Amino acid sequence: MQYKIHTTPIWDAFKKDCLCPMCELNEQLSTRLVDRFLNEAVMVPTSRQLVNKYGFCSHHYDLLLMGDNILGVALQSITRTEHLQNILKPPVNAKTAKKQAEMLLKESMSCIICREMEEIMDRYYMTVANMYYNEPPFMKVLNDSQGFCLYHYAKLLENAHYARSKTEQFLECIYSVEITKLSKLKSDLNSFTEKFDYQKKDIPWGTSKDSPLRASKILTHRKI
């Protein structure tokens, strides 16, 4: 039963026409978690302790601020600030200052939403490889897929062993869709640049018009 719960969103993401099904899953998670930290989590003591400890990164703060519970954001910010007040010690010399700096730099980047997303995404990477082993129709879906962003391709490589006896086949499959994705991107980028050549400016855009935007999404690790 537990297994089924995890595969349904994966099936849905792979059926969707998108740049990367794993980014799609990541985005759904982000939306769900931001919503949780705007609603029920505000009043749950265990969640508040986690927010105090990890805070929110600037990206998720922005999403929270765009939500409809600014009071909830303020309340969580108060106790997070208190936590930081407690760990901020007077820097008495360069050595202690450096130590404090190291710790505070980590604090400035930590985020409870990013943490929870990472944990769940790790399970999704394993499950994708495991579905390739367990569910023959998924093999076809993966073979016919449009590939992944670079970051998620790397994450699937990392977890390939969960495809068990079909690991090599799984690797061959994801490599093939990924290299095709990059060739298509490069070809579209070439066509895009040709539009800036006066003699070729009348050639139709085809699928190249949004290729720089696609490059920014495919070649990077996006914060969602």
Positions touching Zn ion (CB under 5 A) are 20, 22-23, 57, 60, 111, 113-114, 149, 152
CB atoms within 10 A of CB 159: 20
- Residues 106 and 136: their CA atoms lie apart, in Å, by 43
Residue-wise DSSP of 191-221: HHHHTTSGGGTTS--TT-TTHHHHHHHHSS-
Local structure of 102: helix, strand or coil: helix
- Of 57 and 163, which CB lies nearer to Zn ion in the complex structure? 57
Q: How far is the CB of 214 from Zn ion (least distance, A)?
A: 12
Give the Cα separation of 41 and 47 in Å (integer): 6
Q: Count CB neighbours of 85 within 10 A.
A: 8
Between 114 and 185, CB nearer to Zn ion: 114
Cβ at position 101, least distance to Zn ion in Å: 21
> Least distance (Å) from Zn ion to the CB of residue 113?
5
| Residue number, 155 or 166, with CB nearest to Zn ion | 155
Residue (22 or 38) nearer to Zn ion, CB: 22
Give least dist CB 89 to Zn ion, A.
26
Q: Find the shortest distance in angstroms from Cβ 119 to Zn ion.
A: 13
Q: Which is nearer to Zn ion, 57 or 129 (CB)?
A: 57
Q: Determine the straight-line distance between the first and last CA of the chain, rounded to whole angstroms.
A: 29
| Residues shown for the chain | 224
Contact of 60 with 111, CB cutoff 8 Å: yes
Query: Using alpha carbons only, what angle is made at residue 150 by residues 144 and 153, rounded to the nearest 5 degrees?
Result: 50
